[in-house]
Every structure is written in C-alpha cells, then in structure tokens.
C-alpha cells in the first residue's frame, strides 16, 4: 500500500506558526467575503475546495463561521461529508479534478474558494478552474497564496519560489520529494498570471497582508 501523503505537514515544527497566521488571514478573508457578497439567509453559497481535516484549527474556517449553514454547499475532490454532518451544512458534492463542476450555470449567489487555485495544475488548468467558478455563481471570491510572499507555506522554504518555477521544482524534488515538485500539486500565482488569463468576465484582484506584506490574493 502506498504511503499516505501528509498534505498538512502535521509533524513540521513550524506548523503551529503557520496555523496562527493562517487563522488571522482566513478570518480577514471571511470578513471581506461577508462585506462584499452580503449574503442573506436564503442565498445559496458554495464552498469550493473544503477539506475533511479536523485536526487543524484553520481548516474550514469559512464553514465554521458562516451564519446560514443550511444554505452552504461544500464541494471537494475529497470526501467532506464529515464536516457537513459536524457543522450542519446543506450537502457535500464531489468534483473530479480538471473536470467541469457538477452544478448548473449561476446555481449559487457566490462561490467561496480558499487556497485551492494553486493546487489545480498548469496555468491552463487554473484558467479553466476560474472560469468554472465564474460559470456557477453570480459572484466569486477565490483566494490563493501570493507568489511573492517571502515564505512558501507548503514547503516552508523561504524565497526559493521566487526563482523560475522549473528551478523551484528541481530543488523541491530533491529536498521535499515529488509531491510538491509536481505542477499538479503546487503552482503559485502572481497578479500578472491572473490578468493574462482568458476569463469569462472581468475580475478584480485584491490583497490580504500578513506582517505588512502581501500574503494572499483575492480574485473577485
């Protein structure tokens, strides 16, 4: 049997620091989502890219904080039915990687998607993913780590991700293994990357700051 991959690096000594700053950033993003979308108790909302993880305090913060849980659908490539039961959400829907989302056009008032875009593959895959978000909802709120934040928070390596991506991948392959070296699992973006995509409609890009530096992008 293949060894399970520790996506969250549970045994990493820096994880508690990462979790601390992640909680702060995700609470900021939740507040901004509520201000921008202004959802009502009857609006259908999609959380795209939830995780079944229940160990880390920063997992599924949006679902924990969202007030109208009976209107909140979660969708993921992993089975997240456990959080639907635990939090009293509407339902869980599975989506296959790199395939259209299993929803009708404009089925939702808004889609919230946190820290997923960097894991869907190539720039073409990311473009397709964003266009699917735009298809299924009136509004999108997609967050992703900003490439030029000093620390790459999946590998915990500083500055290396500022190099051309193939160089980053080669070094990560030797130091961290093949999982994070694969473009299907990690491909960070900057503002220019999003602007160069052929999206179905115009989007705005805003930033969340951590320690006075841009740490996350919000595509909305």
pLDDT of 1 over the 60 cut = no
Residue 24 — pLDDT band, cuts 50, 70, 90? confident
**In terms of Cα–Cα distance, which of 9, 28, 5, 29 is closest to 17?**
9
pLDDT of 15 over the 90 cut = no
Half-sphere exposure of 175 (CA within 13 A, CB side): 11
What pLDDT, on the 0 to 100 scale, is given for residue 2?
34
* Residue 169, domain member (yes or no): no
- Beta bridge pairs of residue 143: 114, 218
* Residue 214, domain member (yes or no): yes
What pLDDT, on the 0 to 100 scale, is given for residue 6?
53
Pairing assessment for the beta strands 137-145 and 91-94 based on DSSP bridges: unpaired
Q: Quote the distance between the C-alpha of residue 27 and its chain's center.
A: 14
Tens digit of pLDDT for each residue in 42-78?
Answer: 999 999 999 998 888 888 999 999 999 999 999 999 9
Mean of pLDDT over the chain: 92
| Residue 138 backbone dihedrals phi, psi, to 5 degrees | -70, -35
* Residue 167, domain member (yes or no): no
Other CB atoms within a 10 A radius of the CB of residue 32 amount to: 16
What pLDDT, on the 0 to 100 scale, is given for residue 125?
98
Contacts of 34 (CB under 8 A, 6+ apart): none
Sign of CA dihedral 112, 118, 123, 125: negative
Residue 22 — pLDDT band, cuts 50, 70, 90? confident
| Residue 185 backbone dihedrals phi, psi, to 5 degrees | -110, -20
Domain that holds residue 22: 15-34+42-157+189-219
* Residue 1, domain member (yes or no): no
The CATH code of the domain that includes 29 is 3.40.50.150
Q: How many residues does the chain have?
A: 220
Tens digit of pLDDT for each residue in 103-139?
Answer: 999 999 999 999 999 999 999 999 999 999 999 999 9
* Residue 83, domain member (yes or no): yes
Tens digit of pLDDT for each residue in 137-195?
Answer: 999 999 999 999 999 989 999 999 999 999 999 999 999 999 999 999 999 999 999 99
SS (H, E, C) the chain: CCCCCCCCCCCCCCHHHHHHHHHHHHHHHHHHHHHHHCCCCCCCEEEECCCCCCCCCCCCHHHHHCCCHHHEEEEECCCCHHHHHHHCCCEEEECCCCCCCCCCCCCEEEEEEECCHHHCCCHHHHHHHHHHHHHHEEEEEEEEEECCCCEECCCCEECHHHCCHHHHHHHHHHHCCHHHHCCCCCCCECHHHHHCCCCCCCCCEEEEEECCEEEEEEEC
* Residue 115, domain member (yes or no): yes
* Residue 134, domain member (yes or no): yes
**How many domains does the chain contain in total?**
1
pLDDT of 5 over the 50 cut = no
* Residue 10, domain member (yes or no): no
């Amino acid at each position: 049997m293949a060894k399970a991959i520790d996506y969250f690096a549970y045994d990493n000594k820096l994880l508690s620091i990462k979790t601390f700053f992640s909680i702060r950033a995700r609470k900021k993003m939740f507040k901004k989502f509520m201000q921008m979308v202004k959802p009502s108790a009857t609006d259908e909302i999609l959380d795209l890219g939830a995780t079944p993880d229940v160990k880390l305090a920063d997992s599924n913060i949006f679902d924990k904080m969202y007030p109208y849980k009976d209107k909140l659908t979660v969708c993921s490539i992993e089975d997240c039915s456990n959080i639907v039961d635990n939090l009293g959400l509407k339902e869980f829907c599975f989506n296959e990687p790199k395939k259209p989302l299993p929803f009708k056009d404009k089925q939702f008032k808004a889609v919230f998607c946190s820290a997923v875009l960097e894991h869907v593959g190539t720039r073409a895959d990311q473009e397709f993913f964003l266009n699917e978000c735009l298809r299924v909802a009136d509004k999108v709120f997609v967050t992703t780590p900003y490439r030029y934040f000093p620390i790459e928070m999946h590998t915990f390596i500083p500055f290396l991700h500022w190099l051309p991506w193939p160089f980053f991948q080669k070094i990560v392959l030797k130091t961290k293994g093949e999982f994070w070296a694969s473009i299907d699992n990690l491909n960070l973006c900057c503002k220019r990357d999003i602007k160069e995509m052929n999206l179905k409609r115009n989007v705005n890009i805003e930033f969340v700051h951590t320690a006075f530096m841009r740490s996350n992008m919000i595509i909305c």
